Amino acid sequence: MAEARRVRFRFSKTGKVRFTSHRDVARMWERALRRSRLPVALSQGFSPHPLLSFGLALPTGCESRGEYLDARLDEARPDEVSFDALPSLLTPLLPDGVVVQAAGAVALAEGSLQQEVASCDWELEVFGLSGEELQERVEQVLASPSLIVHRERKGRPTEDDVRPAILTLAVTHDDGPEQGEQPIGRFRAELATHPRGVRPSDLLSAFGTDVVLARACRTHQWIERDGARFEPLSVSGLGTDPVVVHA
């Protein structure tokens, strides 16, 4: 990896640790990378900090099986990093529930995760609706030409039409475990990230107030190029064959 001075990690965030924030995740990675003694490059200036670049923020409380992080490596320091070893090196240094699945080189010329990722797949569980009722509601949502939701951005109330960002919705007809008396509805969603990202909570507010989010898990993030979809780093590559996204 002589030329690869940017390493991309794919990791999961499940269980109790899902209640930490995006900023918390950034700090836990900074500490883990320091403990790993990997040659992560530092920024210049008064407060040098490791050059890490996270993808789309995962909302606090949501799980993920497909999170990404790019780290710049220090050119000046000896090259002793083996991608194969990175997941098992870093996972023990991260909190329970954060598991590094893969690592691979990404060319510096590639765009950032923030720019490149166009959509995300989600698995969602809700209280309030299930089965046929949920199916009907999903069809209503998909049939609507626009769905205005009210949310706060930088402390100000805004109105957004989230309908264009809802790419697919599909009820999952599996009879998973019920929580207590309350039936749980399950469905999958693919949500676009541009121009305004839609979070699961925004999507749910388009469903109506009788539907309450029970659990959300981001399963994939997708990069689109020339009409084809790619994951930022494929798990099957497992680092031996670092996936730099080319069409």
Partner 1 sequence: MESLWPQVERLLLGVSKPARYIGGEQGAQYPEHGPGKVAWMLLYPDTYEIGLPNQGLQILYEILNERPDAVAERAYAPWVDMEAAMRAAGVPLFSVEQHVAARDFDVMAFNLSAELVYTNLLNLLDLARVPLHAGEREPGDPWVIAGGHCAFNPEPLADFVDAFALGDGEELVGEINHAIAGWLAAPAPERKREDLRLTLAQIEGVYVPALYTSSYRDGRLAGTVPVMPGVPAEVAKRTVTDLADWPYPARPLVPLTEVVHDRLNVEVFRGCTRGCRFCQAGMITRPVRERPAEQVKEMVSTGLAWSGHDEVTLTSLSTADFSGIEDTVREIIDDPVHEGRVSVSLPSLRVDAFTVGTAAQIQKVRRTGLTFAPEGGTWRMRQVINKLITEDDLYSAVDAAFSQGWRRVKLYFLIGLPTERDEDVIGIAELGKHCVEIGRRYTKSVTVVASVGGFVPKAHTPFQWFGQDTVDELQRKVNLLREHARTTRGLTVRWHEPAASAVEGLASRGDRRMGAVIERVWRAGGTFQEWSERFDLALWEEALAAEGLSLAEVAHRHRDELEPLPWDHISAGLHRDFLWSDWQDALAEAAVEDCRWTPCYDCGACTGFGLEHVVASPVPPAGGSQGTGQDLSVGGRIPVRLISGVRSGAEAG
Q: What is the per-residue burial (b if ≥16 Cβ within 10 Å, else e) of 162-197?
A: bbebbeebebeeeeeeeeeeeebbbbebbbbbeeeb
Binding mask 82-101 for partner 1 (x = CB under 8 A): -----------x-xxx----
Under the binding rule (CB under 8 A), the answer on residue 74 touching partner 1 is no
> Residue 27: exposed, middle, or buried by beta-carbon count in 10 A (0-12, 13-18, 19+)?
exposed
Q: Is 5 left (phi over 0), alpha (psi -120 to 50) or beta?
A: alpha
Q: Rounded to the nearest 10 degrees, what angle do helices 131-143 and 200-207 cross at?
A: 100
Nearest to partner 1 of 103, 216 (CB atom)? 216
Under the binding rule (CB under 8 A), the answer on residue 79 touching partner 1 is no
Under the binding rule (CB under 8 A), the answer on residue 23 touching partner 1 is yes
Under the binding rule (CB under 8 A), the answer on residue 32 touching partner 1 is yes
Under the binding rule (CB under 8 A), the answer on residue 61 touching partner 1 is yes
Stretch that binds partner 1, among 13-21, 78-86, 141-149, 236-244 (CB under 8 A): 13-21
Under the binding rule (CB under 8 A), the answer on residue 183 touching partner 1 is no
Under the binding rule (CB under 8 A), the answer on residue 144 touching partner 1 is no
Question: Binding partner 1 by CB under 8 A: which of 2, 3, 16, 174?
Answer: 16
**Binding-residue total with partner 1 (CB under 8 A):** 26
DSSP codes joined into one string, 19-84: GS-HHHHHHHHHHHHHHHT--B-B--SSS--B-EEE-SPPPTT-EEEEEEEEEEBPTTS-----GG
Question: Binding partner 1 by CB under 8 A: which of 102, 129, 171, 213?
Answer: 213
Binding residues (CB under 8 A) for partner 1: these are: 16-17, 19-21, 23-24, 27-28, 30-35, 42, 46-48, 60-61, 93, 95-97, 213
